[in-house]
Amino acid sequence: MKLNDPFGRMARRNEREYESLAKSLQEAGMTDPAQAEQLLTKLDKRTRTGLTIIIPAAAILALLFPAYWMFTAAFALLICIWLVKTTQKARLYIRRYVAEYLTPQADNDAGRNSPAESNGSADNNSVANSHGEAEAGSDQEPPAPHA
């Protein structure tokens, strides 16, 4: 039981959202990971466009109606947060769709375990590396020592 979702309602809702998106992508004929990358690029572009419209519009409204600048700023912030969070969730769902439907099964079995198959084996590495050591074969640099 999770404290932030004790009855699993959010998990079920997220799963329904993903299944709906996966069905839509299948109906749209998305059969290639390159198409998914194009979709992700288009999604990012739309998000940037939305933000570049919302932020200046809010600033102009705040200047035109200075008595309501706080409401305008709060509403614009709310819209920006909603836009960014929705985009993040869509990106997550599209990447999951690519992993589940567009990646050949042979690639998934070649040394990569799904989270369900690993049974926490990744946790052993994360515990050992929680003190800043880089994993063997990792391309990440260890953090710089504190001065």
What is the Cα–Cα distance from 49 to 51, expressed in whole angstroms?
A: 5
DSSP letter at 141? P
Please state the pTM of the whole predicted model.
0.67
| Alpha helix ranges (H) inside the chain | 9-27, 33-64, 69-97, 105-109, 115-118, 121-128
How many Å is the Cα radius of gyration of the chain? Answer: 21
At 143, the pLDDT band (50, 70, 90 cuts) reads low
Inter-residue contact 18 to 96 (CB < 8 Å): yes
Helix (H, G, I), strand (E, B) or coil at 51: helix
Query: For the segment 74-124, what is each residue's pLDDT rounded down to a tens digit?
Result: 999 999 999 999 999 999 999 999 999 998 864 444 444 444 444 444 444
| 107 CB neighbour count, 10 Å cutoff | 10
Query: 40-60 burial string, b = 16+ CB within 10 Å, else e?
Result: beeeeeebeebbeebeeebee
Higher pLDDT, 5 or 124: 5
- How far is the first Cα of the chain from the last one, in angstroms, to the nearest whole number? 42
The residue length of the chain stands at 147
Query: For the segment 31-83, what is each residue's pLDDT rounded down to a tens digit?
Result: 999 999 999 999 999 999 999 999 999 999 999 999 999 999 999 999 999 99
Inter-residue contact 41 to 85 (CB < 8 Å): no
At 144, the pLDDT band (50, 70, 90 cuts) reads low
pLDDT, residue 13, reads: 95
